[in-house]
Amino acid sequence: MSSTAPTSPQPSPTPERAGAPAALSDVTASDGALRRFLHGLPGVDAVGLEARAASLGTRSIKTTAKAYAIDLAISMVDLTTLEGADTPGKVRALGAKAVRPDPTDRTAPATAAVCVYPDMVAAAKEAVAGSAVKVASVATAFPAGRAPLAVKLADVREAVAAGADEIDMVIDRGAFLAGNYRKVFDEITAVKEACGASARLKVIFETGELSTYDNIRRASWLGMLAGADFIKTSTGKVAVNATPANTLLMLEAVRDFRAQTGVQVGVKPAGGIRTTKDAVKFLVLVNETVGEDWLDNHWFRFGASSLLNDLLMQRQKLATGRYSGPDYVTVD
Q: What is the pLDDT of residue 10?
A: 41
Q: What is the pLDDT of residues 234-272, one digit of tens each?
A: 999 998 899 999 999 999 999 999 999 999 999 999 999
How is residue 330 annotated by DSSP?
A: -
For CA atoms 256, 233, 290, 201, the dihedral sign is positive
Are 73 and 112 within 8 A, CB to CB? no
Are 105 and 71 within 8 A, CB to CB? no
Range scoring the smallest mean pLDDT among 54-63, 85-94, 322-331: 322-331
The rounded distance, in Å, linking the Cα atoms of 272 and 287 is: 21
Band of pLDDT at residue 2, cut at 50, 70 and 90: very low
| Averaged confidence pLDDT in the chain | 91
Q: What is the pLDDT of residue 325?
A: 65
The rounded distance, in Å, linking the Cα atoms of 308 and 97 is: 10
Provide the residue ranges of all domains of the chain, joining segments of one domain with +.
20-319
The rounded distance, in Å, linking the Cα atoms of 184 and 253 is: 18
324, pLDDT greater than 80: no
Q: What is the pTM of this model?
A: 0.91
Band of pLDDT at residue 12, cut at 50, 70 and 90: very low
DSSP string, 256-275: HHHHHHS---EEE-BSS--S
Q: What is the mean pLDDT of residues 303-307?
A: 90
Band of pLDDT at residue 61, cut at 50, 70 and 90: confident
Alpha-carbon separation of residue 64 from 5, 67, 295, 311 (angstroms):
11, 5, 17, 15
Phi, psi of 200 (to 5 degrees): -85, 150
The rounded distance, in Å, linking the Cα atoms of 257 and 251 is: 10
Cα 244 versus chain centre, distance: 14
What fold does the segment set 20-319 form as a domain?
TIM Barrel (3.20.20)
Paired with 169 in beta bridges are 139, 203
Q: What is the pLDDT of residue 163?
A: 98
Between 23 and 217, name the one with better pLDDT.
217
Annotated catalytic sites, by residue?
A: 168, 232, 268
Q: What is the pLDDT of residues 124-141, one digit of tens each?
A: 999 999 999 999 999 999
Run of H or E including 204: strand 200-204
Are 262 and 289 within 8 A, CB to CB? no
Q: What is the pLDDT of residue 35?
A: 95
117, pLDDT greater than 50: yes
